[in-house]
Structure 1
Amino acid sequence: MPKFFQTEVLSFRKALYYMRKIICVLSFAAIASCAKQNPVQNPGEQFMSESEMEVSKNRTKDLNNLERTQIQDWIKSQDVKYYPMGMNYWVNIENLEQKPRKNNGEKVSYQYVIYDFDRSKLYDTSIGNTDVVFGRFQEMDAVEDVIRYLNKGEEAEILVPSVLAYGTYGDGKKITNDMPLIIKVKVL
């Protein structure tokens, strides 16, 4: 083989070698870029701006203040006395928070009935659960809180602002949005 061709073949091999390196580096970069996935946003998901969050927070605060005032006015017209609890609801048992409180991990069975503030029963059957573990409740926070103070066989009536009940959306059935509730609870 003439020397000229040997040089050309050698140059061709060098060029091929560098092209393989470039292809390998580019392939690695392409694979690496595929591995990093950006989170997919659900088309139905919406994010709120800071100003929208502030408006929502103020709306909730104003609604809670309005409901507290309305519930306190309602309490004044009742023969039964109700006492405020630290979580922002009222109960018909004086000094309930001074009783021993059950801890997370303990089990309890209970049932409750939901009423509106006209004392109309919203559901015909009571809602109940057996052997539920404190700390793993899926009920309203006010229901769990009051049950922590009650002993077997004891009952309580609680007045719950909407923010501690079903909130802005209601339950999609008989409890409308922003609806405060009266709940009669019994530990079984």
Structure 2
Amino acid sequence: MRKLLFISAISLLSCNRNTQTAHPPVGGVLSQKDLDVSRNRMKNLNTIERNQIQEWINGQSVRYYPTRLNYWVTVEGFDQREKRADNSLISYSYDLYDFDETKIYDQPIERRNAKFGHFDELKAVENALRFIRDGEEVTLLVPSSLAYGTFGDEKKIDNDIPLIIKLKAL
């Protein structure tokens, strides 16, 4: 009788568990449907941001040129220049602004003697550093997908925020 009661209790508990929604753990695997929803969301967001950035550009006196990586820069033919080699060193700094042209951080983000292929940087910044010349300053207009994306920087930059980045090779 005890065995029957024990088995019934276990069965009842296991049936109750199946009604809960399963969530993947942090860093867990998502289903193909979840991945498709995420991909479509980012694609739509990128289209909206590109249109908003283009409208902003139309109101500026400075010319901006699109790059192959999906950001704009103040130098024509910028990403057609010769690329810096992997493992070469570069020192640089940059300031971040929102599209109201409000500076986000008081101090610039600065790196000294960073080695290509061995530093973790915003995608657009890392790409631009491949083409920037020593001492040159450029302004990048960056959609959120190439900036801090869906999570923001968990400090002052919220999720899905496009940025203006003023980059200087030192």
Give yes or no for TM over 0.5. Answer: yes
- Cα offset, 1:50, TM superposition: 1.6
Bigger shift: residues 91-100 or 167-176: 91-100
Q: What CA distance in whole angstroms lies between the structure 1 residues aligned with 2:116 and 2:122?
A: 12
Match of 2:164 in 1: 182
Q: What CA distance in whole angstroms lies between the structure 1 residues aligned with 2:66 and 2:59?
A: 16
Residue of structure 2 aligned with 1:129, choices 111, 115, 128: 111
Letter in 2 for 1:161: P
Letter in 1 for 2:90: V
How far does the alpha carbon of each residue in 1:14-36 deviate from its partner, in whole angstroms, 9 at most, with x for none? xxxxxxxxxxxxxxxxxxxxxxx
User: What runs of 5+ residues in structure 2 fail to find an aligned partner?
Assistant: 1-23
Alignment of 1:1-188 (within 5 A): 44=26, 46-188=28-170
Bigger shift: residues 47-56 or 72-81: 47-56
RMSD: 1.4
Letter in 2 for 1:111: S
Q: What CA distance in whole angstroms lies between the structure 2 residues aligned with 1:62 and 1:83?
A: 22
Residues 91, 44 of structure 1: alpha-carbon distance in 2 compared, 3 angstrom cutoff: closer
Select the structure of larger CA radius of gyration.
1
For the residue of structure 2 that corresponds to 1:148, the secondary structure is helix
For the residue of structure 2 that corresponds to 1:131, the secondary structure is strand
Identity of paired residues, percent? 49
- Cα offset, 1:48, TM superposition: 2.0
Q: TM-score, normalised by structure 1?
A: 0.75
Residues 45, 93 of structure 1: alpha-carbon distance in 2 compared, 3 angstrom cutoff: closer
- Cα offset, 1:100, TM superposition: 1.8
Letter in 2 for 1:146: A
Letter in 2 for 1:163: S
Letter in 2 for 1:84: P
How far does the alpha carbon of each residue in 1:127-154 deviate from its partner, in whole angstroms, 9 at most, with x for none? 0101011112211111011111112110
Q: TM-score, normalised by structure 2?
A: 0.82
Bigger shift: residues 96-105 or 177-186: 96-105
**Higher relative contact order by CA 8 Å / sep ≥ 6: 1 or 2?**
2
How far does the alpha carbon of each residue in 1:10-66 deviate from its partner, in whole angstroms, 9 at most, with x for none? xxxxxxxxxxxxxxxxxxxxxxxxxxxxxxxx9555432221211111001100111
Letter in 2 for 1:145: N
For the residue of structure 2 that corresponds to 1:75, the secondary structure is helix
User: What runs of 5+ residues in structure 1 fail to find an aligned partner?
Assistant: 1-41
